[in-house]
Amino acid sequence: MNDRLLRAARGELVDTTPVWIMRQAGRYLPEYRAIREKISFLELCKTPDLAAEVTVQPVARLDVDAAIIFSDILIPVEAMGLHLELGDAGPRFPTPVRSSADIERLGIPDPEERTGFVGDAIRKARRALSDRVPVIGFAGAPFTLAAYMVEGGSSKSFTQIKRLMFERPELAHALLDKLTETVILYLKMQVAAGVRAVQVFDSWGGELSPIDFEAFSLPYLARIVSTLKATGVPVILFGTSMSTLLPQMKRTGADVIGLDWRIHIDEGRRILGPNVAVQGNLDPMALFLPEKELQARVEDILHRAGPTGHIFNLGHGILPSTPPEAARALVDAVHRLGTRAE
């Protein structure tokens, strides 16, 4: 197996910097769009043969150093008993969680029983890849999941979740506790199915002040990280607009901290210290640069990050309008230049 990513996550020497791309199985690939023409997004997530097929597509096309299982962070929330609608306008929960009764109605699902299709997709993807690269599993962070559930979908101001936190903190903590147990079981199921690393997406964690992150996110993330690390897999923690929260993110105990493009990666490493690996952090829009300028950006990040403890990635998901050729040029540049990074 190509184990560059696993070695980099542990801070070990690698022959070149490993690279994968968030949302690498997605709409920028024509082979993915061909499948999506025949099936809805949610159906695709729940059809193991097709989910495995789109998981493998970017490995074949881009030569990335890892696959990430095709799914959505809200899949386990639906399994808790909350009706989910996933459309072009984004996710929507028609009946948001706002009261004590709403939270009490939520279950902590058996992951094999309610989301076993994810485990099946992992096993099928591993077989299709012949285990030549590791498969990454993932889940949403409790605060991010709670934000979707309480807001009823995406939000710009996060008014409802913050009002719940500030006006009824006991209810917020009850919801976050249920979500934490759900995420732990869900990720352990993915590890049992064969993922070799897991990533926790705290997509909305950057909306919290340091004091609120400390109260409403850090303890729950730390529980997830400690439990998953006990299984032997590296844990990656990623969030957007969280550069000011790096000291708290480090305290979760995550093996790898993913950085968005809003901070120089060497500055992130300085804050995190020598014992934490980093992932990132090219601006996804940089894939629209001329190839020579893209290569210069790659080289700069590699130089700043250093040759060990770095997994190259974008600072967020690849954009649907990105030319696949640019993604391949990125991967090739990382592999070519990573051997010389100092």
Catalytic positions: 23, 27, 36, 72, 148
Q: What are the tokens at 187?
A: 């990720």
Helices vs. strands in the chain: H and E counts, helices first: 16, 9
56, containing H or E segment? helix 48-62
Q: Which amino acid is at 279?
A: Q
The torsion angle over the Cα atoms of residues 265, 215, 74 and 49, rounded to 10 degrees, is 60
Q: Report yes or no: 24 and 68 within 8 Å, Cβ to Cβ.
A: yes
Q: Report yes or no: 287 and 327 within 8 Å, Cβ to Cβ.
A: yes
Query: What b-and-e string marks burial along 283-311, b requiring 16 or more CB atoms within 10 Å of the CB?
Result: bbebbebeeeebbebbbebbebbbbbbbb
d(CA 62, CA 280): 17
**85: helix, strand or coil:** strand
Residues 6+ apart with CB under 8 A from 61: 29, 31, 324, 328
**340: helix, strand or coil:** coil
d(CA 92, CA 255): 32
Q: Report yes or no: 82 and 152 within 8 Å, Cβ to Cβ.
A: no
The DSSP secondary structure of 307-323, one letter per residue, reads SSSEEB-BSSPPPTT--
Q: What are the tokens at 293?
A: 């300028």
The DSSP secondary structure of 236-297, one letter per residue, reads EEEETT-GGGHHHHHTTT-SEEE--TTS-HHHHHHHH-TTSEEE--B-GGGGGS-HHHHHHH
